[in-house]
Amino acid sequence: MHVKRVSRARRRGAFLTAAVLLATAAAASGATATPPSAPTPPTAPAATPVPRPVGDADAAERAAAARQAALPPPCSAAYRIQQTLDGGTTWRMCWRYDTDSGLVLDNITYQPKGEAVPIRVLKNARLGQIHVPYDDGNAEYDDLTGAGFGWGLENLAPAECPGGTIRTVKVPELGSVKGLCATTRARGHAYRLASDEGTKVWQSQGKDLLLYTVNKVAWYEYITEWRFSSDGTVSANVGATGSLAPGDYNAGDGRGWPIGNDGARSTATSHSHNVFWRLNFALDGTPRDRIEQYDSVVSPPTGRGGPTTRTTRTPITKEAVGDAKTMRWWRVVSATGKNKDGHRRSYELVPGASNKHAGRGFSKHDVFFTRNRACEKFASNNIVDCGRGAPDSVDKWVNGEALVDPVVWVNIGFHHIARDEDQQPMPVHWQGFQLAPRDVTHMSPLTPRDLAGENGAPRDRS
């Protein structure tokens, strides 16, 4: 994998050289190459400062946010995605492609049944890095910014996108790639409730809007997947598949696992995949979201009572790092939006299983909260110019500034100790997290009509 990754990274230079040679040849012959016409993809939305209202202006600001949310996404039809799911929920967003971070989603809105206008959720969502350090210390990769991730976009066959549409992606230096699948996929039960009398069962089988691309980096193939559910949940996952690299079958120092029957000569080197996502929220159309951390502590029983649990809330007002622990969670809270019960809308971060990698400052924490800056784009090996002497990793951007227009960086790690079953090809191993709606609507948007009157006071069915 070491050699293959290097040659992959050089591929970008090869394309540039080829482009220059072709242009030179065309100029010499007097020929003019005319590329095929294509819709113009949207540009990344710029951060818009929102003035702080004087006095109690919540109603006016909510009305302004509602008007903004009702506007169509600022992208052409070819880059617009809209899908109505079970229960009447509609998701809308724009997509574009970045040759370093891959698939980027902008202006994501969620409109459940009963909401007059779409609810803005995310201004921007993308991968932030895939960091791959090897256990023996001889190799360490930043697959997005150092190994040609964006140039490895794969064409998808129709069978890979059942029931959906494969969008054509314009990749600089590569041309047109049929690389984005937009489809729906069953997820099983959306809910189930049986009456105490056993006379009725309320249940529904749900579907998700599924968007995904496949990017080849050396021997690995990464599936970047976004799922949007009818109950408002957003799921982000990266699946690694492809092949174990033949060049890594050299872990004779005990930092690997034997593959095949040749002993140390076929021992795959262990390594980690630290996947980062960059999430720029804009709940209800304003960047003034708030971050809150919740911790619960369980105390042992005293006397005849049972154990007790106390939950505390900690506002995060300055840039910070966070580490997952038992009974800890975070949420992003809207500065303006409330549901019909008058509760602030928010989204809860639900990290998936993770193995934190302590080798680098940017990989030793589960979440980072930073102030939104367009140049701070990648969690490590940030190749965007942030000015002379600016640090190039997310841990160094956390420096105590006020958390205005917060960006949430999620880090999910996987320690890959290979096994015989990883060959050949390698089964997908997934890493990811969810964003769960918390008080976005006053009840579940999937609540059956005959149970809609039980808001806050479920009736006793016994």
Please give the average pLDDT of every successive group of 10 residues along the chain, which has 462 residues: 41 38 35 35 39 42 53 81 95 96 97 94 97 94 96 97 97 93 95 88 94 96 98 97 82 79 76 97 94 97 93 98 97 96 97 96 98 97 95 96 96 95 93 98 92 83 50
First to last CA, the chain: 62
Helix (H) or strand (E) holding 24: helix 2-29
Per-residue tokens: 300: 């042992």
Residue type, 243: S
CB neighbour list of residue 192: distance below 8 Å, 6 or more residues apart: 201, 202, 203
- Structural contact between residues 171 and 150, judged by C-beta atoms closer than 8 angstroms: yes
DSSP-assigned letters across all residues of 381-397: S--S---TT---SHHHH
What burial class does residue 88 get, using C-beta atoms within 10 Å of its C-beta: 0-12 exposed, 13-18 middle, 19+ buried?
middle
pLDDT attached to residue 50? 34
Q: What is the pTM of this model?
A: 0.85
pLDDT attached to residue 21? 33
pLDDT attached to residue 303? 87
